[in-house]
A and B are shown apart, each in its own frame.
Chain A
Amino acid sequence: MRIAVCIKQVPDSTRVKVDPQTGTLIRAGVPSILNPYDHYALEQALKLKKHHAGAELIVLSMGPPQAVSIMRLALALGADKGILLSDRAFAGSDTWATSYALALGLRKIGHIDLVLCGQMAIDGDTAQTGPAIAQQLRIPQITFCDSVSVSGRKLTAKQHIDGGHQVVEAALPVLCTMTMPHDYQPAYPAFLKIMQAQDKPFETWTAQDIGADTSCLGLEGSPTRVDRIFAPPAREKGEVFEGGAAELAQKLLEILRQENVLKP
C-alpha cells in the first residue's frame, strides 16, 4: 500500500497577533510549525503503515525552502520519503491553485492508494485544499475523519458529524481529511530518529518538474482575493449558571424574556 500525506508549514497561530492598525499579522518572533491537523493525519498514516507490512508513506508539501523542516520532522516520525514543491511560481496560490499543484505532485509520484490531509491549516482555516485535491485527482473523498483503517482494497473511516460519528466505507484510492481530538498532543521524534531522517530520500520539485501550467498557479491562478484581514471584536465573557434542569430552564426562560427574545 502506498500512502501520501499532504502537510503544510504554518506560523504557530496561537502565538500570532493581528496588528490592530494595519490588520496584518505580526509574524516577528513567531515560530513555524507543522500544521497540527496534518501532524495528526501523519500519525494516523504511520499507524496504517505499521499495520500493513511493506506499506510506503510519502509526505508532500508545497512551500518555501524553509519548509524542509516539517519534511524532516515527518521523516523523523517515520515517513519514508519527502517531496517539497518549491518554486517562486507557487507563491501567492490560494487553495484552488495549491490543490492543483499538490494534485500534480501526487500524480507525478505515481500510484497512490490513500491520500491523507489535515482537515484544515490553522493559518487559514479554509478546509478547502484537501477536498479540492480529491476533485482534481477525480477520486472520492471523506472529510472530517477521526480515524481510518484499510482492509484489502476497502477503507473504513470514522467520520465526525454533528453530535456523533458515522462509519463510512470507500474503495481505494480515496482521499481523507483528518480532524483531530481536542486533547491531541502531537508526537515528537527522539534525537536518533531526527539524525536518521537526514539520510532518508527527499526531493524538491519545481512547477516545471510537475508539468504545471503556470497560469494556474500563484496569484494569476487563484480565483480568491483577500479583501481585508481584521481581528474580530473580542467576545464578551459569558455567564455560567449551575443547578438542576428545572431550575436552569426557569433561569433560561427568565433571561430570554429579559433580553426580549421571548414575549413576556
Chain B
Amino acid sequence: MPNLDAVSRELMLDSLREYAKRRLPFDYLRENDEKNRFPEEILREMYDIDVMGIHLLLIPKEYGGLGGSTFDIYRVCEALARIDLGVATSVFATFLGTDPLKVGGTEEQKKKWMSRIANEKLLVAYAATEADAGSDLVNLRTRAEHITKNGKLVGYKINGNKQWISNGGVADILTVLALAPGGPSWFIVEKTAEGFSANKHEDKHGIRLSNTAGLSFDDVIVPADQLIGEAEGQGLSQAQAVFGYTRLMVAAFGLGAGWEALETAIRYSQQRIQAGGQLSEKQGYTHKLLVPHAVRLTAARAYIEEVANKLDGGDHGLQTEGAIGKYYATEAGNKAAEDSIQALGGYGYTRDFSPEKIKRDVKITCIYEGTNEIMEMTICRGRWQEHLKSRGGYYAAIASEMDALHASSPDVGADACACGLRALGRVLEECRVQKLTRHQHVMFSLGSLIAEAEVAAAMCRVAASKNPSPTHRLDRDALKAIARVSARESAFNLASKGLKLVTGSAPAGVGALAEGMELPQIEAKQHGNTADMDLIAAKLNEYFKAK
C-alpha cells in the first residue's frame, strides 16, 4: 500500500502550484535569475511543515515524513520544474543528499538525521563531484583519515575539494563522499564544522536560482558515528543503489520544463495572427514546432510512469531504465524548449517571456546526474548484457508483445513499434557478430536507439490501456495518434540509423542486414502520419487553450 493515494498526490500538487502562483511569479523568478540570487527564504518556506513541507515526501513515515512513492516524487519534480528548475534543483539536492542516509544509514543515524531534516527546515547537499571525478568516481581525491584515541577509532579527518555542488554554499548538512582507508564512503558534515568552507556561487548559464558552489575541506573533523552505515567502502554501491530513482527525478525535470515551454508555445500560437490566420492553424508551424515535441514528451511520460510504477512495485535498481528515462525525457525537454523560442519568434528571444529562461535552465538536465552521453553508455551496456544473455531474444520478445498488442488494439501503432524493435534486435546482433561495440561511437549511438525503441513501446502500451493515466491530460484519441506517430518515427529511425551505424562501422558488407530490416513494411507503416499530426495539433489547441 502506498502511503499517499492519488487524491492526496493531486492535492499536494495543487498546494505547490498555488504557492508558486503567489510567491514565485515570473517577474520574481526573472529578477532572481538576473541577479543570480538563491532565494533562501523560499526554500525555507517550502521546507516549513506548516506551510508546505515538500521535503517530507522523501523522508520515510517512521521518521516523521510522508514516505512518498517514486510516482509521487516524479509528479512533484515535474511540477517543480514547471515553476523554476533552479528552485527544483535545490529541492532535488536535498532529496539527493538524503539518499545515501536512506540507503546506507544505520537505524540510529536515520532516526537522528532524518528527523532533523524533517523538522528543522534544513537544506541538504550531496557532495560527490570533484575536478577529476565526475561520472567516473575512481579518481576521487577527497580523503578521510582515521582519528584514533587509545587505539579506538573516534572520528575522521577530511581533506579535499568538491565542485559544482548544488546547495553547496547554503546547505546546513552535507553528505560528502570521501576516500576512507576502507574505500569510498559517505560522511555527514555540518556546515558549522571547522575547516569547511564553500566558494562563491557559480555564474551559470541557467538554473541561476539554484546555489552551486565548490567546497573545501581543510582538516574537517567528523565524529565516527557520522560515517554513513558505520562501515567504510560502501560509498559507491550506496550511490549507485538510487540511480534508477534519482535519474527518474531528473527525467521528470526535463518533462516538466519541456511541457511548460511547449504549452507556452501552443497557447501563443492561438493568439498570433499571421497571413490571415492563427499560427496554430498552420501545419508548417505546428508540425515542426509543436506536434513532434508533444509526441516525444507524451512518450517520455509514458516511459517514466512505467518505470516509476515498477520501482514502486518493488523492482530494485532499474539503472538502465532510469538512464533511458533521464536520457529521453531531458533530450525531449531540451528540444521542446529550444523550439518554443522559435515558436514565439522575436518574443521568444527576449527575457520578457519564459521560453528563453526555460531553455537556459533545462540544458542542465542533459548534464547533471550523469551526462546524457554517460546515459547512452549506461543504456547500451545494460541492454547489451540482456541481448547476450537472451541470445538476441530480448527485443524479439518485446516485439512479440507489441504484435500481440496490435492484435487487440490495432490503432496504437504497435505493429510499427514491433518492426522497429525487431530491427533493433538485428542491429545489436550484427554489432555482436562484427564486434562493433569496440567503437565507442557505436555503443553510445546504440544507447540512443535503444531508448527510442523502449519509449515508443511504453507509449503504445499507454495508448492501448483502457484507463490511461490522467496525468497525460489528453484524451484517448490523442494518445493513440501520439503512439502511432511515435512508433512510426522510432521504427524508421531504428532501421535507418541502425543500418547506417552498422554499415559505417563494419569492416565487411552488411547486405543481409538490410534485407532483414523489414524496410518496405516500415515504409508502408508511415501511411497516415500527416493526418495523425493534424489530429494531434487540433487536440493540443483544444486542451491547451490560450488564456
Contacts and interface: CB of A to CB of B under 8 A. Distances in A.
A69 B11 contact: yes
A29 B11 contact: no
B462 to A, nearest CB: 18
A29 B50 contact: no
B34 interface: no
A185 B22 CA distance: 9
B19 A192 contact: no
Given A195-B3, A195-B66, A29 B543 contact: yes
A73 interface: yes
B543 A28 contact: yes
A191 B12 contact: yes
Q: What's the interface size class on A, roughly?
A: 20 to 34
Interface in B11-32: 11-12, 14-15, 18-19, 22
Nearest to B22: A185
Nearest to B547: A15
Nearest to A186: B18
B545 A17 contact: yes
Given A188-B19, A191-B12, A191-B57, A198 B5 contact: yes
Contact of B475 (A28, A190, A194, A198): A28
A189 interface: yes
For A189, A192, A198, the residue with the greatest tally of chain B CB atoms inside 10 Å of its CB is A192
Nearest to A75: B11
B8 interface: yes
B513 interface: no
B10 A69 contact: yes
Contact of A68 (B7, B57, B475, B545): B7
A109 interface: no
B295 to A, nearest CB: 18
Nearest to A30: B545
B544 interface: yes
A26 B49 CA distance: 38
A38 B244 CA distance: 43
B4 A198 contact: yes
A198 B19 contact: no
B54 interface: yes
A69 B7 contact: yes
A76 B7 CA distance: 12
A198 B56 contact: no
B542 interface: yes
B473 interface: yes
B235 interface: no
Given A190-B49, A191-B57, A192-B49, A198 B8 contact: yes
A191 B53 contact: yes
Given A28-B475, A195-B4, A198-B8, A188 B14 contact: yes
Contacts of B4: 194-195, 198
For B51, B54, B545, the residue with the greatest tally of chain A CB atoms inside 10 Å of its CB is B545
Contacts of A8: none
Nearest to A191: B53
A197 interface: yes
B5 A191 contact: no
B318 interface: no
A198 B1 CA distance: 13
Contacts of A197: 8
Nearest to B478: A28
A72 interface: yes
Nearest to B57: A191
A72 B50 CA distance: 17
Contacts of A195: 3-4, 8, 66
Contact of A190 (B14, B52, B473): B52
Contacts of A190: 15, 48-53
Nearest to B4: A195
A174 to B, nearest CB: 31
B66 A192 contact: yes
A188 B475 contact: no
Contacts of B19: 188
Nearest to B51: A190
Contacts of A188: 14-15, 18-19
Contacts of A72: 7-8, 11
Interface string A41-54: 00000000000000
B54 to A, nearest CB: 6
A194 B15 contact: yes
B547 A191 contact: no
A19 to B, nearest CB: 10
Given A15-B547, A191-B12, A192-B53, A29 B7 contact: no
A73 B15 CA distance: 10
Given A72-B7, A190-B15, A191-B15, A29 B56 contact: no
Contacts of B543: 28-29
A29 B544 contact: yes
A69 to B, nearest CB: 5
B15 A29 contact: no
B508 to A, nearest CB: 54
A191 B12 CA distance: 6
Interface string B50-73: 111110110000000010000000
A149 B53 CA distance: 32
B8 A189 contact: no
B544 A76 contact: no
A49 B11 CA distance: 23
A155 B534 CA distance: 61
A189 B545 CA distance: 28
Interface string B191-212: 0000000000000000000000
A27 B51 CA distance: 32
A243 B473 CA distance: 50
Contacts of B3: 195
B52 A191 contact: yes
Contacts of B22: 185
Contacts of A26: 542, 545
For A73, A190, A197, the residue with the greatest tally of chain B CB atoms inside 10 Å of its CB is A190
Interface in A71-88: 72-73, 76
Interface of B: 3-5, 7-8, 10-12, 14-15, 18-19, 22, 48-54, 56-57, 66, 473, 475, 542-545, 547
Interface of A: 15, 17, 26, 28-29, 68-69, 72-73, 76, 185-186, 188-192, 194-195, 197-198
Closest 7 CB pairs of A and B: A29-B543, A188-B15, A191-B53, A188-B18, A194-B11, A194-B8, A190-B53
Given A17-B545, A26-B545, 14 more contacts: A29-B542, A72-B8, A72-B11, A73-B11, A189-B11, A190-B50, A191-B12, A191-B54, A192-B56, A192-B66, A195-B3, A195-B66, A198-B4, A198-B8
15 contacts: A29-B543, A29-B544, A29-B545, A69-B11, A72-B11, A186-B18, A190-B49, A191-B12, A191-B53, A191-B56, A191-B66, A192-B49, A192-B53, A194-B4, A194-B11
